[in-house]
Structure 1
Amino acid sequence: MPTTPSLQDVLDAAEELWPRTLAESWDAVGLVAGRRDAPVQKIHFAVDPVSAVVEEACGAGAGLLITHHPLLLRGVTSVEAGTFKGEAVHRLIESGCALLTAHTNGDSAVGGVNDVLAELLGLQDHEPLKPVDDGLPEEGLGRIGALPQGMPLGEFASRVFGILPSVAGGVRVAGDRDAFVQRVALCGGAGDSLLDAARHAGADVYITGDLRHHPASEARENVRGGRPYLIDVSHFASEWMWLPAAAQALDRVLSDRGYEVEVAVSGINTDPWDFVLTPG
C-alpha cells in the first residue's frame, strides 16, 4: 500500500531526475527551506518563487514547492519579513512548505527543460549544444537537432509561438521570413551565451530567451545576416513547458518507490511583462 514520503525521500527522487552535479558552478540549486524528516503529501511546481506562487502553494497545503528559478541566487544578509524574499521564506516556513530549486541541473538533465522544448518542436536526433564535462552524452545545456521536414522561417516561428504559453512579449525573429530552415538549436531561458555554439553547430535558426541587443546584433553581424537566424522568446514561457513533464516524472519515480503524493503545476503567469506596444 502506498505511503507518504518524507521530504528526504522526495529529495532523493529529485536527485535521480535532476542531479545537482549538472548545475552550473555559479548556480544555487537544492533545498532552500524545509525539514528533511517532514512528510510531504502535496508537491507544487512553478517557474518562479514569487509571492503569488508561494501563496498559491501554501494556500493549497503543499508540503513542498519546487521552482525552476532560485529564490536566493544572489547572496543576502537578511531574510527579515519586510523584504519580498524574507516574506517568502517566512510564509513557507510558517506554512510547513519546503522549497527546492532545480535550475541549470533541470536544464541540462535528460528529460529537462531543453529536451522538452526539443520534443515539442519535433526535433529529431537532438543532442546538447554544450555537453557536460563529466556526464552522459545526452546531458548538457541547449539542444540541436533537425526538423523532419524543413519550412520557411516565418512558418517555423509561428509554430514556436503556437506551442508557448501566451505572454505579453510574444516572439521576435531576426532573419529572412521566407528562408528555408531545418537544423534547429535552442536553449530554454536566457541563452545568449550559446550563440557561438549554435553557429558552430551549423544551426539554421537558434531559439532562446532574453536576447540582449549587443549579443544579438554581434551574432547577426558575424554571419552577415545569414544563419543562424534568431528567435527570441519569453524566458518564462520557454521554461514553463517543462513543468508538466517534470511533475509527471517525479510522480512516477515516487510511485515506483511505493510513495503516493499529490502533484500540481502552477498556472500563474510569472512573466514580468504585462503588455507590449508595437508599431501599427
Structure 2
Amino acid sequence: MPRLSEVIAALDALWPPSRAEQWDAVGTVCGDPGAEIRRVLFAVDPVREIADEAIELGAQLIVAHHPLYLRGTTTVAADHFKGRVVHDLIKNDIALHVAHTNADTADPGVSDALAGALDLRVTGPLVPDPSDPSGRRGLGRICELEHPETLAAFAERAAQRLPATAQGIRLAGDPDAVVRRVAVSGGSGDSLFDTVRAAGVDAFLTADLRHHPVSEATQQSPLGLVDAAHWATEWPWCELAAAQLDEISDRHGWNLRVHVSHTVTDPWSSRFSSPGAPN
C-alpha cells in the first residue's frame, strides 16, 4: 500500500500547488505522511456529511475541491463545525487534501470535466495560461457542439447531464437562439463576461451568476447565459480526478480503492416558484 506522502506527490503532479491562485488555500490540511492509504474519497466540499461518509467507507484520504479553511484560522476547536471536521478526520486516521484553483486550470481540469459531462468538444482554454507552451491549460474552456441546437435545448442538456440540485438550470437570453460554440467554466463565472464576449461564442455555461452582471451582459450582446448550481458544475471533476488516480494506482501497483461521493452538498435545499413565473 502507498504512503500518504506518495499519493500526495502523485496528486501534486496532476495539480501543482504552485499553479493555484495566491489567495487560495490548497494542499494537505491534515494527515500523517507515513500513513498507509487504501481507500480514497473524492468530493467537492469538505463538510461534515463528507467526513461522515469517509468514516463509514473506511477511507484514509479525502480529496476535496473546495478548501476547508480558505481564509485561515487560529483554532481548530471542535465547538466550531470546521474544527469538528478536523477532529473527526484525525480521530479516524483520515487525511484531507485540497485541489482548488490548481485543478481549475489543469489540463485536464474542472472545466474539461464539465464539458465532458455535457458531451462538448473542447477546442481550447477560455483564459489561456501564459506560462503553458502547449496552450491547453487555463481557466474555462471554449467548446463546440456536435450539431447546432437552440439555447433552450442546450440549457435542457445541462439540466439532464449535470447532477440534480434545488436550483436546477436558469437561462438568460433568447431561448430560440441557435447555439454552435459555447464557453464553460466550473464554479463562479460572471467575472469572465468580457472574455466570453471576446471569444465570440453563442452561450456561456457557469454558476453563481448575479443580477447586475447578467443584466448588463444581456444588454450588451445576444450571448446566451446558462446558470447552474456551483456544486453541480464542479462535481464532474470528482469523477475525472478519481479516474486519474485510478490510472496512477494501476501503474504503480498500489491497488487503491477510489470512490466518488454522490452526496449532494449544494447548500440550497428547496425551490419554490411563484405562480405565473416564467418557465
The verdict on a shared fold, with TM-score over 0.5 as the criterion, is yes
Distance 2:116 2:41 in 1: 24
Give percent identity, aligned residues only: 46
Which of 252, 255, 261 is matched with 1:257 structurally? Answer: 252
Which of 93, 97, 101 is matched with 1:96 structurally? Answer: 93
Poorly superposed stretches of 4+, deviation over 4 Å: none
Q: How does 1:93-132 map to 2 (within 5 A)?
A: 93-132=90-129
Conserved in 1, the CA contact under 8 Å of 2:117 and 2:162? no
Cα RMSD of the aligned pairs, angstroms, is 1.2
After superposition, give the CA deviation of every residue in 1:65-109 in whole Å (9 maximum; x if it has no partner).
010100010121111000011111111111110000011111111
Distance 2:268 2:23 in 1: 26
Q: How does 1:59-78 map to 2 (within 5 A)?
A: 59-78=56-75
Distance 2:124 2:232 in 1: 22
Partner of 1:210: 208
The question of 1:279 aligning with 2:279 is answered no
The alpha-carbon deviation at position 49 of structure 1 amounts to 0.6
Conserved in 2, the CA contact under 8 Å of 1:13 and 1:254? no
The question of 1:242 aligning with 2:237 is answered yes
Distance 2:103 2:23 in 1: 15
Conserved in 1, the CA contact under 8 Å of 2:115 and 2:122? no
Distance 1:19 1:122 in 2: 27
Conserved in 2, the CA contact under 8 Å of 1:130 and 1:140? yes
Q: Match for 1:101: what amino acid?
A: V
Conserved in 2, the CA contact under 8 Å of 1:43 and 1:261? yes
Q: How does 1:132-151 map to 2 (within 5 A)?
A: 132-135=129-132, 136-151=134-149
Give the TM-score taking structure 1 as reference length: 0.95
Structure 1: which 5+ runs fail to align? none
Partner of 1:152: 150
Conserved in 2, the CA contact under 8 Å of 1:152 and 1:177? yes
- What is the total number of aligned residue pairs between the two structures? 274
Which of 253, 257, 264 is matched with 1:269 structurally? Answer: 264
Q: Match for 2:43: what amino acid?
A: A
Partner of 1:195: 193
The question of 1:20 aligning with 2:22 is answered no
SS at match of 1:263: strand
Conserved in 2, the CA contact under 8 Å of 1:46 and 1:240? yes
Distance 2:228 2:53 in 1: 26
